[in-house]
Structure 1
Amino acid sequence: MSHARHRLSRAPLVLAGLVAVGLLAGCSLVPPYERPAAPIASHWPDTAGAPGADTTTAADLPWQQFVRDDQLRELIGLALTSNRDLRVAVQNIEQARAQFQIRRADQFPSVGASASGTRSAPNPYQALGGPSVSSSYSVGLGVSAWELDFFGRVAALKDAALASYLATEEARKSSQISLIANVASTWLQLKTDTELLALAERTLGTREQSLALTRLRFEHGAASALDLRQAETLIANARATRAQQQRLRAQDIHLLTLLVGQPLPERLIPAVPALPTPQSPSEPTQASATVAPAAELPAFADVPAGLPSDVLLRRPDIRAAEQQLIAANAQIGAARANFFPRITLTGSLGRVSSDLDGLFGSGGSRAWSFGPAITLPIFDAGRNQAGLDSALAGRDIAVAQYEKAIQTAFREVADALAGRATLAEQLAALQAQAEAERARFQLTDLRYRNGVASSLDLLDAQRSLFAIEQALAQARLAQRANEVQLYKALGGGWSESPAAGA
């Protein structure tokens, strides 16, 4: 009776212990995560212009719809397939996924099978009638040092690995956005440098025509040696500009080849327009042909700006920074758990026999072992505290990086919106100036041929026209490149169109 009462009195203690273990198993020392407030204004600056009424955001606009030129769309498709930086980003995802799986596996016991056999002599039991050789065979299943995660250390490490994995996913999207923008910008630069090369060729032809006329006038005493040397100077300047544009065009092709990740098909490389060299007019008093301007660049789809709070948080780089912040926050929980006891279980279950044939028969016997262990830190010379301090500092760093990512994104979008609001006006003014310079060149050239204007007037008109045509081409490039940068800054480029996804 006394033994029965003793067992009954211990039952509440055992039950209380099981309840306590269950409560501890659900304990987590990870601080509650709160997204930091965005350190930016709620609206874009006034210089950014009107945000637009379209509700479709850039992140929801597939790049196949944003890019309207078929050649550029094909180049981007090749880059997404062969670019090495994008391949590295994809493999980073696979590596982070494997690290997460390793951390998640730590939450479960590792079960392994084992079998062993030993034979030794002399046998200590030989004097009692045993054999001269001692034999022992065993087989079983075992669990080695499985940690009971009472204080959430293993779970916190798993959460940190999961957040790091998600951050690499967002980093891959960010790499794709940058790749698409770089391919589009480089292609626009190549188109512009090709047109500027053609402009230099046409300008060189026009100046050679003017030099021939000046030399003819010099031979007949109607022009001075100074006029002849000035015309030769313009010829040399045009040739130098042509060589420079040839070099820039070649460098653009090399960069585009690197971004695409494979040799470019010839049909996708913008060709230099084959224009004949202007011929001298049949009459000395006939005006020279005006140099044709550079061609227009293909346009892109319009991108609405939206509100900063709705747009910026959808950028993959900002989402990656937030996942890194979540990972740093989880590391604090793991560092805190190091101050508490760590309990591990080791056990095995199997059979043992002195005869191999009887290991699974009647000659064998069941064998088991169970060995829980507890480790409590008492003195570590401040190691655990330093680990916690490091985790707290890591979270503060992650917060600052997250806030900086938002501020950088806000500035990039604001700059692109300011460019969209002003580049159109700048381009219209340059086009008007170019039209005026073309008319001025025609009038000056006609007056020079009829002996009314001086050679200095003609040379100045030629220089001004060439400079404004170059500025106009660069302004067109800036406008189109700004459209690409706005699309990139708003987080566009990582989503696929329904047709591409199918």
Structure 2
Amino acid sequence: MKFSRIPLIVALAFAMSSCSLVPEYFRPAAPVPETYPGQPVNETVTEAPPLTWQTYFPDADLQKLIQVGLQHNRDLKTAVLRMDEAKATYGVQKADRLPTVQGNLNYDRSRTVFSSSQAFEAELFRVGVGISEYEIDVFGRVKSLTQSALEQYLAVSENRQAVQATLITEIATQYVNYLAIHAQLKVTQQTLADRQQMLQRTQRRFDAGLDQVLDVKAAQIQVEQVQAQLAQWQRQLVTTQNALYLLLGEPSQRTPLPVKPLADLKLADVTPGLPSTLLTRRADIRAAEHQLKAANANIGAARAAFYPRLQLTTNVGLVNSDFAKLFSDTGSNYWAFSPQLVIPIFNYGRNKASLKLAEARQHIEVVNYEKTIQTAFKEVMDVLSTRTAIAEEAASRTRLRELESSRLQLVQRKLDQGLVTYLEVLDAQRSVLDAQSQAVQIQQQALQNQVGLYKALGGS
């Protein structure tokens, strides 16, 4: 055989490796309704543009915090490294589809003793290149494993996107909490100042014989209660700051946390579209589908294990008994061509068990895929179902706060006229504080609801 025939044989082997035993993939039907409850079934639903975090969170201060988190957060860095790991695994598996060409340099020395007690010694130098135990993928086993590794890599890539969306949501949520606590602190500090003024006034009235000692004690109690509440908000502020800085992931807490009224934090208003859009928008759903495709490819590899495996080993080079003459004109050429057919005969049911295992894992991934879709649908519904109620409650809380403030002003004027008791003033003050605090809370919940919609709809 001439050297020129060996590449032809290798090319023929590649041509044979075109069979695939991977079952045809069909995307499972989404186990959710076609529309969200309350949406028209027969009318066209306007689709919102892709949810990028820059457009969904237009506030400049919040965008700066998100950018810092995307740069330094350790969970996101781990997700990126996991993606690099999966990419390298895919590269290793992909390389198995191509023959590995290796160079070799051998030295053999042998001694043979004949029956006449004569001995013969020989040495041989050999240099060449060749392919060692390359599997010709006739039934697509290696191709199926490569396809599975690719789908695993794509799944990890989508998981990185899901981690990023979760990180952005958590940063935005904690920033909303941070601003809400500052709003509560402002309300509480103003209430404390009012209570202290009332205590001083009550003390003066007591000294003048106009109020009783019980009124002074009641005023002192009110001051202490507000001071305790102020200390609680300050403790919560520190905890929220620490949580936010952990999300940002900076080595040192250098990034300032801007303070502004909650009403100044604007978020985009988007439409939910149809549940079917979640299949392409949500990174976790896309990742689950890639996992399903990987399991599907593993079935093809398990099926191929029932069939013979064809391995090829080749080598070409030079040989000579003198190393100095190995690369000269007197050197001798050599070649070797060693195909090997490995046929499974009896392995105690290992191949059958491997196929059943691959099929079981594929069924598991189908269920996981469906469960991921249902979870996404639930998250969107949780946001949508509470959005209207939160808006109605927010409007009611705002009106209640205004009414309680007006009532307090009237009671204070009547107190100056001696028409009401001090206890009625304290009751009005408590009502105002509660109304202001609840108004801040419902405003906080409304913003958190909007932030949650970003993640539920598959923000990127």
The offset of 1:227, in angstroms, is 2.3
What amino acid sits opposite 2:292 in the alignment? L
Show CA shifts across 1:221-251 (max 9, x none): 3333332222222111111111111111111
Q: Which runs of no fewer than 5 residues in structure 2 stay unpaired?
A: 1-11
Q: For 1:151 and 1:470, locate their aligned partners in 2 and report how far apart those are by CA, in whole Å.
A: 70
Q: 1:110 to 1:22 in 2, by over 3 A?
A: closer
* 3-state secondary structure, aligned to 2:125: strand
Q: 1:172 to 1:22 in 2, by over 3 A?
A: closer
Maintained 8 Å contact 1:312/1:409? no
Do residues 270 (structure 1) and 262 (structure 2) align? no
Q: For 1:226 and 1:453, locate their aligned partners in 2 and report how far apart those are by CA, in whole Å.
A: 16
Structure 1 segments, 4+ long, off by >3 Å, are 20-25, 51-55, 122-125, 127-130, 263-269
Show CA shifts across 1:57-83 (max 9, x none): 3xx132212212111111111111111
Q: For 1:225 and 1:312, locate their aligned partners in 2 and report how far apart those are by CA, in whole Å.
A: 69
Q: 1:392 to 1:266 in 2, by over 3 A?
A: closer
Q: For 1:264 and 1:469, locate their aligned partners in 2 and report how far apart those are by CA, in whole Å.
A: 32
The offset of 1:133, in angstroms, is 5.5
Q: For 1:53 and 1:401, locate their aligned partners in 2 and report how far apart those are by CA, in whole Å.
A: 28
The offset of 1:89, in angstroms, is 1.1
What amino acid sits opposite 2:375 in the alignment? T
Q: How many residues align?
A: 446
Correspondence for 2:319 among 331, 341, 352: 352
Query: How do 1:79-118 residues align onto structure 2 when only pairs under 5 Å count?
Result: 79-118=69-108
* 3-state secondary structure, aligned to 1:268: coil
Quote the residue 1:304 is aligned against: 271
Query: How do 1:281-292 residues align onto structure 2 when only pairs under 5 Å count?
Result: none
Maintained 8 Å contact 2:140/2:301? yes
Deviates more, 1:298-307 or 1:443-452: 443-452
* 3-state secondary structure, aligned to 2:426: helix
Q: Which runs of no fewer than 5 residues in structure 1 stay unpaired?
A: 1-19, 272-293, 495-502
Maintained 8 Å contact 2:279/2:286? no
Q: For 1:161 and 1:295, locate their aligned partners in 2 and report how far apart those are by CA, in whole Å.
A: 47
Q: For 1:346 and 1:40, locate their aligned partners in 2 and report how far apart those are by CA, in whole Å.
A: 54
What amino acid sits opposite 1:32 in the alignment? E
* 3-state secondary structure, aligned to 2:285: helix
Correspondence for 2:23 among 10, 24, 31: 31
Quote the residue 1:317 is aligned against: 284
Q: For 1:365 and 1:39, locate their aligned partners in 2 and report how far apart those are by CA, in whole Å.
A: 70
Show CA shifts across 1:168-194 (max 9, x none): 111111111111111111111101111
Query: How do 1:85-484 residues align onto structure 2 when only pairs under 5 Å count?
Result: 85-119=75-109, 134-262=122-250, 263-265=252-254, 267-270=256-259, 296-484=263-451
What amino acid sits opposite 1:268 in the alignment? L
Deviates more, 1:23-32 or 1:472-481: 23-32
What amino acid sits opposite 2:200 in the alignment? A
The offset of 1:414, in angstroms, is 1.2
Do residues 70 (structure 1) and 89 (structure 2) align? no
| TM-score, normalised via structure 2 length | 0.91
* 3-state secondary structure, aligned to 1:347: strand
* 3-state secondary structure, aligned to 1:206: helix
Give me the CA root mean square deviation. Answer: 2.5
Quote the residue 2:38 is aligned against: 46
Maintained 8 Å contact 1:28/1:152? yes
Q: For 1:99 and 1:116, locate their aligned partners in 2 and report how far apart those are by CA, in whole Å.
A: 33
* 3-state secondary structure, aligned to 1:42: coil
* 3-state secondary structure, aligned to 1:296: helix
Maintained 8 Å contact 1:338/1:384? yes
Show CA shifts across 1:143-175 (max 9, x none): 111111111110100000000111111111111
Quote the residue 2:9 is aligned against: none
Maintained 8 Å contact 1:47/1:421? no
Q: For 1:47 and 1:423, locate their aligned partners in 2 and report how far apart those are by CA, in whole Å.
A: 19
